[in-house]
């Protein structure tokens, strides 16, 4: 009963933060730190969703455990698209698999997914990703992708991944609200300009 109550409290906290937060980074930080507090040894997490902004293919944010964040590396639009198509998230979407997990001690995976080679150099042992679809794909916001990486020997346990799966709908609902706000801002900005659009949304 205590575990169930703790899970409900976590979901309630996620939804409350999701109502207030307008930034994916804030939402992801609260989610990731909550998992760490519950004993899941995360190295880094990431959340992303499509956007209708023609200058940006998707909206994304990453969280790293304190002291482990790598230096920023600017990417051109062409590099960003190439990195996306070489990513495990793209692989899961292309296979319509819904989720996936990879142990990073296989050197072949580093050749298939360049991201895995970089993560392995930072001590990562396993990468897991889960997708949650929105609105039966009736909007450009088709869903969120959550990635999680651990540096614990042996990787994640099945119970840990199942616990995260139960929390994902709440996280995705909060992310959906932030995404819709972004769509409204982008759409109004295209017609009114970003400054006027911001004023209209605040009116």
CATH code of 19's domain: 3.30.450.80
Please report the pLDDT score of residue 15 as a whole number: 86
Has residue 51 got a pLDDT over 50? yes
**Average pLDDT of the residues of the chain:** 81
Number of structural domains (the chain) is: 1
As a whole number of angstroms, the distance between CA 12 and CA 167 comes to 10
- Pick the most confident of 11-25, 46-60, 71-85: 11-25
Question: Domain range holding 26?
Answer: 2-202
Q: What is the pLDDT of residues 100-136, one digit of tens each?
A: 999 999 888 888 899 999 999 999 999 999 998 776 6
Please report the pLDDT score of residue 197 as a whole number: 47
60 pLDDT tier (thresholds 50, 70, 90): confident
The model's pTM is 0.83
Has residue 77 got a pLDDT over 80? no
As a whole number of angstroms, the distance between CA 16 and CA 39 comes to 22
Question: How is residue 39 written in tokens?
Answer: 């004993």
């Amino acid at each position: 009963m205590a575990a169930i109550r703790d899970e409900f409290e976590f979901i309630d906290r996620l939804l409350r933060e999701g109502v207030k937060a307008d930034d994916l980074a804030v939402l992801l930080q609260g989610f990731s730190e909550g998992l760490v507090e519950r004993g899941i040894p995360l190295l880094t997490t990431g959340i992303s969703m499509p956007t209708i902004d023609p200058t940006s293919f998707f909206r994304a944010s990453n969280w790293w455990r304190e002291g482990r964040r790598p230096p920023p590396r600017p990417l051109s639009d062409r590099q960003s698209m190439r990195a996306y198509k070489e990513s495990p998230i793209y692989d899961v979407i292309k296979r319509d698999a819904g989720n996936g997990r990879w142990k990073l001690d296989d050197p072949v995976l580093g050749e298939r997914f360049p991201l895995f080679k970089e993560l392995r150099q930072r001590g990562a042992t396993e990468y897991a990703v889960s997708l949650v679809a929105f609105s039966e794909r009736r909007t450009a916001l088709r869903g969120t992708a959550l990635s999680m990486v651990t540096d614990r020997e042996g990787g994640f346990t099945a119970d840990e991944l199942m616990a995260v799966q139960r929390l994902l709908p709440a996280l995705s609902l909060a992310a959906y609200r932030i995404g819709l706000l972004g769509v409204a801002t982008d759409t109004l900005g295209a017609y009114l300009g970003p400054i006027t659009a911001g004023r209209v949304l605040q009116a």
